[in-house]
Structure 1
Amino acid sequence: MATIESYVTQSGKRYMVRYRKPDRTTTKKRGFRTKRDAQDFAATVEVSKQRGEFIDPTAARAIVRDLGPDWLERKRQLKASSFRPLEIAWRLYVEPTWGKRPISSILYSEVQAWVTTLTVGDPKAEPPVKPKSATTVIRAYGVLAAILDDAVKDRRLLANPTRGVDLPRKKKKAHVFLSHEQVRDLADASKYPALVRVLAYCGLRWGEATALRVQDVNMIRRRLGIEQNAVDVAGEIIVGTPKNHKKRSVPFPEFLDAALGEACEGKHREDLVFPGPTGTYLRYTDMREDKMSWFASAVKKSGVPRITPHDLRHTAASFAVSANANVKAVQKMLGHSSAAMTLDVYAELFDDDLDGVAIAMNDAVSRLSVPKTCPKTA
């Protein structure tokens, strides 16, 4: 139980509460003007301990700058391409604004104002704040919210003041689907025509295609073994497992036999199928022409819509669906974590299936009605 003691200051008599924390260590709180105030505080402490809601005042005074680096360090198990955006969000947006703040002093309204300022900008600020993309704002908010979530779990805070904040909506980028003729023109205009065709007809991610080795190409079964992913992170190529850490086998059409055979010819099993100019991992910014990457140059020469190498995955998905592949097959080809994700990303490609459902139901009912309309035989 807590004990209450009085003491004298220059301003008069004051009261102090001594109490035990849940870990059985003793602490105190001073400065109560009346004994009743001290008793009320002591009662509140006992109730909060019984409910498991006790918050150590010392722990609640921790500042965000002390907690952020530890939280970030725990995220290092993520892929480098996922970790770096979090580190940037902490360094550019979270730490400068919230670093010196005690976590117990942060208010919901302040977080909402911060999110709004990042979203719409503030030309009157010094220096002026330019509007940030929804992705950037949501990521910065997510870092702050996650740090305070950990503070709640560590019993530094009773509740997270960031939760419930209104966030900007991401605008879904319209997919660009090339035709077979456009893929042909793009490949013919490219320095790496075989790579362009593999991206457009197999749906590999850029890093998966550039990490392909000769041993991953099965010419007999016409399969590509996707086991690695080479990602450019701040100018450094980081090689790891594919996204979702799942290896997969992707089929390639027969017309790619010659192109892939030529790309593998004369190489060792461990050699890259599509190496860069120096023999290392290819970057789509390599071999610049007129201040453009080789891929951008090919897009311009071929006259196809403005796309990136990643957009060719969308084309591969559209080709697969038009070839009557079901959603599970498309999911496996693209390496999505679930069929639901494939449907979320490419819902528009399956619109024709709705017509098929209506036609199938109509046919079923029509067959059911046939015997009733036919005359009975003698």
Structure 2
Amino acid sequence: MQKSKSFAKYADAEAFRAAMEDDVRRGRYHDPHQESRLFADVAVEWLHGKLDLKASTRSRYERELRVYVNPKWGAVPLRAITRNGIQQWVEGLTTGDYPAELPDGRSPRPLRPRSIRNIVKVVMGGVLEYAHDQRWIVENPIEKVTTPRSWIRTTTRCI
């Protein structure tokens, strides 16, 4: 863990200090050491803070973290989670090519668009937004990830 930084010139050190102070004043500063936190640890903290959830929703979030999200992202440091990595994982969720901890030794299968959206945008996105709000990451990489579109079936009735 780096506690100091060396500069060849005094002017470079001053510029670095001024930039850091500006980031702190504008609310852009984040502790770079927090980026090494593992996703699974942040997910536990996020879930503990969700006090307004119904029991069934909490259960679903826990299951989606355990079965779909943590097998891929649980041991990954926050700094290593990228938009491209998440997008590739989403593609795997659509084709059934993803790591999972499914019960009874079942194999992964393609997931429905609505399930993917909940897993990716609601659960994983919620954890990453929590990390962003805590200033552990500079930006939430999930914001520009696209998920499959859910087509809603409509019927037309003639009266």
TM-score (norm 2): 0.78
Corresponding residue to 2:93 among 118, 122, 141: 118
Matches of 2:4 and 2:95 in 1, distance apart?
44
Match of 2:109 in 1: 130
| Distance change (3 Å), C-alpha of 1:172 and 1:158 | same
Is 1:102 aligned with 2:77?
yes
Matches of 1:133 and 1:107 in 2, distance apart?
23
Match of 1:70 in 2: 45
Match of 2:125 in 1: 145
Identical counterparts, % of pairs: 30
Is 1:86 aligned with 2:66?
no
Residue by residue, what CA displacement relative to the aligned partner does 1:262-299 show, whole Å, maximum 9, x if unpaired? xxxxxxxxxxxxxxxxxxxxxxxxxxxxxxxxxxxxxx
Is 1:165 aligned with 2:145?
yes
Residue by residue, what CA displacement relative to the aligned partner does 1:17-46 show, whole Å, maximum 9, x if unpaired? xxxxxxxxxx9333x463465454333212
Matches of 1:149 and 1:131 in 2, distance apart?
26
Over aligned residue pairs, what C-alpha RMSD do you find?
Answer: 2.8
Match of 2:24 in 1: 49
How many positions carry a matched residue from both structures? 149
Q: Which 4+ residue blocks in structure 1 deviate beyond 4 angstroms?
A: 36-40
The 5 A counterparts of 1:1-378 are 28-30=3-5, 32=6, 34-35=8-9, 38-75=13-50, 77-122=52-97, 129-141=108-120, 142-173=122-153, 348=156, 352=159
Check the 8 A contact 1:63/1:100 in 2, yes or no. yes
Residue by residue, what CA displacement relative to the aligned partner does 1:41-81 show, whole Å, maximum 9, x if unpaired? 33321221122211112223222111111222233532223
Structure having the higher helix fraction is 2
Residue by residue, what CA displacement relative to the aligned partner does 1:180-211 show, whole Å, maximum 9, x if unpaired? xxxxxxxxxxxxxxxxxxxxxxxxxxxxxxxx
Matches of 2:89 and 2:8 in 1, distance apart?
39
Residue by residue, what CA displacement relative to the aligned partner does 1:326-368 show, whole Å, maximum 9, x if unpaired? xxxxxxxxxxxxxxxxxxxxxx45x64xxxxxxxxxxxxxxxx
Matches of 1:61 and 1:40 in 2, distance apart?
26
Letter in 2 for 1:34: A
Check the 8 A contact 1:89/1:136 in 2, yes or no. no
Letter in 2 for 1:131: P
Residue by residue, what CA displacement relative to the aligned partner does 1:119-158 show, whole Å, maximum 9, x if unpaired? 12339xxx97431111221111021111111111111122
Structure having the higher strand fraction is 1
Segments of 5+ residues of structure 2 without an aligned counterpart are 99-105
| Distance change (3 Å), C-alpha of 1:29 and 1:114 | farther
TM-score (norm 1): 0.35
- Point out the structure with max Rg over C-alpha: 1
| Distance change (3 Å), C-alpha of 1:132 and 1:29 | farther
Segments of 5+ residues of structure 1 without an aligned counterpart are 1-26, 176-347, 353-378
